[in-house]
Structure 1
Amino acid sequence: MPKVTLKDIAREVGLSPTSVSLVLNNRPCRVSEENRRRIKEVARRKHYIPNQIARSLVMQQSHSFGLVVPNIQSRYFASLANNLEILCREKGYLLLITNSVGSSESDTELVRLLVNRGVDGIFLVVSDEFTTDRELIDDLTQLPVPLVMVDRFLDGVSRDRVRYDNELGGYLATDHLLGHGHRRVACIINPESNTGRLRLAGYRRALDEHGIPFDPGLVFESDYYIPDAWQAAEGLLATDATAAFASSDNIALGLLKRVYEHGMRVPDDLSVVSYDNSAADSLFEPALTSIEQNVPAIAGVAVEMMLARVGEHADDAEYAPPVERMLTPRLVEKDSVRAL
């Protein structure tokens, strides 16, 4: 079946292709309501599909956004990508999802690639919040399209940003364990990320409020990958800790794998509070008490920020100051913590 064009519709309704194009793209034009109705009825009947490339050239918009995440295998980032894609599609935008594999150099490469592909804006979860990569920082500062930093921020880049309160999350997790009578609480953390450092700060604040001295011998380092956490967990299990704060679900899964290999059980031998509250813990018994970062909520705020920059009031928004939002995590209590 030959593709229906604007000229085909225009010929049938007796109007110019320009008028038909303006009506179908909801642009202002001097066309009567009756003719508008006829144009849309003919377009539906003939199954007209707009040429998005031509439309983009005319309107100088591609109706697409880009997303850069550092680890698409992470349950949290996979869920974030999924929620962003759904919300963007509902608003008429295609989301191009890319994976930097935790590399600042890849962040730079992918941001440039997305801009060259003509996206109208970029959502970015940076790989390294402490990067000194001037190339990346300069690129983001001078980016010709709107940028929303999600979950992780880069100091020195003045753009819209949204994340959860990581310090509060670390505090809530540790306070919950201390509130159940545990006094030797270990944690597995990623100190190479600002996210990890903030969660560690929350861990230390909870210890201080409960009058318990901070013991660096109970802090173990791990990247946000299950094998790294599995290695770190060996040192943790050699301590006298009765509880552990695992600062991501992937870290918690690595810890649980090591715990079960030692013939131990949660929470009988070790109480655990995780972070992210993803669906991963549904594979394990008992279900993990966890700090929830509501992914649909942060995705919704990120899309709202983006649309404020590219919507019908984009010209006004272009010069508006950057917006920062800090969302509040919550503890979801399940079955992985026992009282001493």
Structure 2
Amino acid sequence: MSELGWTRRDAIRRHLGLWGSARTSELRARFEVSERTIQRDFNAIVADSADITRVHGGLVASGDPDRARLRVGLLVPNPDYYFDDVLRGAQDTAERLNVRLVTAEHKYQDDLERLLLERLGEVRLDGLVVTVDHDEDRHRFLARQGLPTVIIERPWCPELRNVDHVAGVGGYLDHVFSDHVAGAALGLQHLVDLEHRSIRCLFRNTPTTSALARGVRDAADHLIALGVTVETWLLPMGAQRRDETWCTAIDEVVSACLSDGVTAVMAHSDPVAEDLVDRLRAAGLAVPDRVSVVTYDGSRTATELGLSAVSPRRRAVGAVAVERIVDRLRQGGRRGSTGQPGFRISLVPEFVAGRTTGPAPGFMA
């Protein structure tokens, strides 16, 4: 047999060791040879190994099925309505790609986050998908793990260049996140298209808020030229749903709608929008005939209540993160390669029309 044939069969054996299976069609395309050539390679590999079995369309490693699977750690704050969808997207993609996910949740507690990262570092993993805040210490810690890592739903921004450089993360640290800046513009544009010219934004303090506020600021010049005024109000830090500070902030927006000519509100998150709609209606302001409300969140609750929503593509975030980790590992071996360029993937949210937005009063669409 030619040297090229030996090289090809060694590559097929490495593929089996990494993925646990090999398909004829995939290998034909990869090596640019005929199906008959791949079949001869399969016959030779099976003859040399008792741990490999012929199946329709390819080969499978017949030992422990978990042995050859990639193992990826997934650390998120908690499986609430937001990260539940991220988790589902990651799980569905992991199952499709024959990847085992090792999941944990840090509940926004720094000590627990570090403890869980350390424990994940003690497990045999091939990559990490994590939701952690950006700072030098965290980036250094992640880089020390020596694993391809994707940070999800913590948007990268230019200021992070220094953090990445100081931490020395090289090609280990990548980012997949919802583009909340674009999402804010999407919500505002919907309201402007309906001829609303006086808009309030009421945002809860979350990791999403700074990007939303930046999106509103970025749109300011364009909106002013159209005669649109937008003001952004923030719920007080630490405000909990329906406590005094929460209710006071919502009532101030209702007052602006009653006396200041405000005809539309973009609220973050869904609980804020839900309570705002209730208070507007209680004050005699019909939604959407008198005031339109867009929520920036778009959970299942928003769908059930018929809220018009800008909805981050949460499932896609989890799915793309797992896909990127697997791509890195396929290109660079089981623990990946730091020689590959880093990536920052932002996913633009979608607008989901509901029953809480309509033309501005006096405007016929």
Q: Identify the TM-score tier after normalising by the shorter chain.
A: 0.7 to 0.9
How has the CA–CA distance of structure 1 residues 225 and 251 changed in structure 2, closer, same or farther, with 3 Å as cutoff?
A: farther
2:190 paired residue among 170, 176, 189 = 176
Q: Within 5 Å, give how 1:57-206 maps onto structure 2.
A: 63-73=70-80, 75-126=81-132, 128-129=133-134, 132=135, 134-153=136-155, 155=160, 156-157=163-164, 158=169, 159-190=173-204, 193=207, 195-206=208-219
Instruction: Give the Cα–Cα distance (whole angstroms) in 1 for the partners of residues 122 and 222 of structure 2.
Output: 51
1:37-76 per-residue CA deviation (whole Å, 9 max, x = no partner) reads 996489xxxxx87274xx3xxx7xx732222222422x22
Instruction: Give the Cα–Cα distance (whole angstroms) in 1 for the partners of residues 284 and 48 of structure 2.
Output: 76
- In the other structure, the counterpart of 2:311 is 292
SS of the equivalent of 1:188 reads strand
How has the CA–CA distance of structure 1 residues 192 and 78 changed in structure 2, closer, same or farther, with 3 Å as cutoff?
A: closer
Instruction: Give the Cα–Cα distance (whole angstroms) in 1 for the partners of residues 284 and 237 of structure 2.
Output: 22
Tell me the matched-pair count: 299
Do structure 1's residue 236 and structure 2's residue 253 form an aligned pair?
yes
How has the CA–CA distance of structure 1 residues 264 and 78 changed in structure 2, closer, same or farther, with 3 Å as cutoff?
A: farther
How has the CA–CA distance of structure 1 residues 39 and 180 changed in structure 2, closer, same or farther, with 3 Å as cutoff?
A: closer
Instruction: Give the Cα–Cα distance (whole angstroms) in 2 for the partners of residues 259 and 65 of structure 1.
Output: 46
How has the CA–CA distance of structure 1 residues 39 and 152 changed in structure 2, closer, same or farther, with 3 Å as cutoff?
A: closer
Do structure 1's residue 282 and structure 2's residue 303 form an aligned pair?
yes
CA contact under 8 A between 1:230 and 1:255: conserved in structure 2? no
2:349 paired residue among 313, 329, 336 = 329
CA contact under 8 A between 1:189 and 1:221: conserved in structure 2? no
Instruction: State the 1:173 CA deviation.
Output: 0.7
Do structure 1's residue 339 and structure 2's residue 359 form an aligned pair?
yes
- In the other structure, the counterpart of 2:294 is 273
CA contact under 8 A between 2:201 and 2:266: conserved in structure 1? yes
- Which residue identity is paired with 1:146? P
CA contact under 8 A between 1:226 and 1:253: conserved in structure 2? no
Which of the pair has the greater relative contact order for Cα pairs under 8 Å at 6+ separation?
2
Do structure 1's residue 302 and structure 2's residue 309 form an aligned pair?
no
- TM-score w.r.t. length of structure 2: 0.68
Instruction: State the 1:210 CA deviation.
Output: 2.5
- Which residue identity is paired with 2:293? V
CA contact under 8 A between 1:224 and 1:248: conserved in structure 2? no
Instruction: State the 1:145 CA deviation.
Output: 1.6
CA contact under 8 A between 2:236 and 2:246: conserved in structure 1? no
Instruction: Give the Cα–Cα distance (whole angstroms) in 2 for the partners of residues 215 and 304 of structure 1.
Output: 39
CA contact under 8 A between 1:185 and 1:242: conserved in structure 2? yes
Q: Within 5 Å, give how 1:303-322 maps onto structure 2.
A: 303-311=322-330, 313-314=332-333, 317-322=337-342
Instruction: Give the Cα–Cα distance (whole angstroms) in 1 for the partners of residues 277 and 312 of structure 2.
Output: 21
1:97-140 per-residue CA deviation (whole Å, 9 max, x = no partner) reads 322222333332222121222222211122x44xx5x5423212
SS of the equivalent of 1:50 reads coil
CA contact under 8 A between 1:249 and 1:274: conserved in structure 2? yes
Q: Percent identity?
A: 23
SS of the equivalent of 2:72 reads strand
- TM-score w.r.t. length of structure 1: 0.73
Instruction: State the 1:301 CA deviation.
Output: 2.0
- Which residue identity is paired with 2:214? A
How has the CA–CA distance of structure 1 residues 66 and 316 changed in structure 2, closer, same or farther, with 3 Å as cutoff?
A: closer
Structure 1 unaligned runs (5+)?
A: 1-20, 43-47
CA contact under 8 A between 1:272 and 1:289: conserved in structure 2? yes
- Which residue identity is paired with 2:154? R
CA contact under 8 A between 2:266 and 2:295: conserved in structure 1? yes
SS of the equivalent of 2:114 reads helix
Do structure 1's residue 210 and structure 2's residue 223 form an aligned pair?
yes
Instruction: Give the Cα–Cα distance (whole angstroms) in 2 for the partners of residues 258 and 118 of structure 1.
Output: 52
Instruction: Give the Cα–Cα distance (whole angstroms) in 1 for the partners of residues 274 and 138 of structure 2.
Output: 33
1:229-252 per-residue CA deviation (whole Å, 9 max, x = no partner) reads 954423322323322111333443
Instruction: Give the Cα–Cα distance (whole angstroms) in 2 for the partners of residues 33 and 192 of structure 1.
Output: 55
